[in-house]
């Protein structure tokens, strides 16, 4: 089994700038600079052969380039139990369209639809 998600990588310069703010929280497990990304769809654990099939299906997804804008810093969880610290990404029609294309491709490939609301963000710490 392999754990999969679909994500957008960021340019090195932006990852470096985000990594520079990753300080000052005791017990935080900071995400390595090279692993900072925007998750578009979490898939979860699947057999390796299914993962290969999904990669082939997703390789056909195309979208013109578009701009993303960072929007604030926040966390998931409560004050007693923060699960993640993140930088938000402002939702845009282009981002929604790309995500819809990915979801449609994964649905055709046999995955269940995603029912959770999409909160575009970059996880900085867990």
Q: What is the pLDDT of residue 25?
A: 81
Range of the domain at 77: 2-125
Task: Give the mean model confidence (pLDDT) for residues 15-33.
Answer: 88
12 in catalytic set? no
| pLDDT number for residue 112 | 92
pLDDT at residue 66 is higher than 90: yes
Task: State yes or no: is 37 an active-site residue.
Answer: yes
State residue 78's pLDDT score: 83
Catalytic, out of 12, 75, 115, 121: 121
Burial status of residue 41 (CB atoms within 10 A of its CB: 0-12, 13-18, 19 or more): middle
List the 70-77 sheet strands across, edge first: 70-77, 82-89, 121-125
The CATH number of whichever domain residue 66 belongs to comes to 3.90.1140.10
More confident residue, 27 or 98: 98
Q: How far is CA 83 from CA 25, 29, 78, 96, 115, in A?
A: 13, 10, 8, 25, 21
Helices (H), 1-126: 12-20, 48-58, 93-108
- Nearest-angstrom CA–CA distance, 53 and 48: 9
Mean pLDDT is lowest, of 66-70, 75-79, 101-105, for 75-79
Structural domain tally of the chain?
1
Residue 7 · residue 40 · CB < 8 Å? yes
């Amino acid at each position: 089994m392999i754990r999969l998600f679909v994500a957008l990588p960021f340019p090195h310069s932006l990852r470096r700038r985000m990594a520079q703010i990753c300080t000052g929280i005791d017990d935080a497990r900071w995400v390595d600079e090279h692993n900072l990304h925007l998750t578009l769809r979490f898939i979860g654990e699947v057999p390796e052969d299914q993962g290969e099939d999904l990669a082939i299906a997703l390789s056909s997804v195309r979208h013109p380039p578009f701009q993303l804008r960072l929007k604030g810093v926040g966390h998931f969880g409560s004050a007693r139990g923060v699960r993640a610290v993140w930088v938000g990404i402002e939702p845009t029609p282009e981002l929604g369209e790309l995500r819809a294309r990915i979801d449609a491709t994964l649905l055709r490939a046999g995955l269940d639809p995603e029912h959770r609301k999409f909160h575009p963000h970059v996880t900085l710490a867990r």
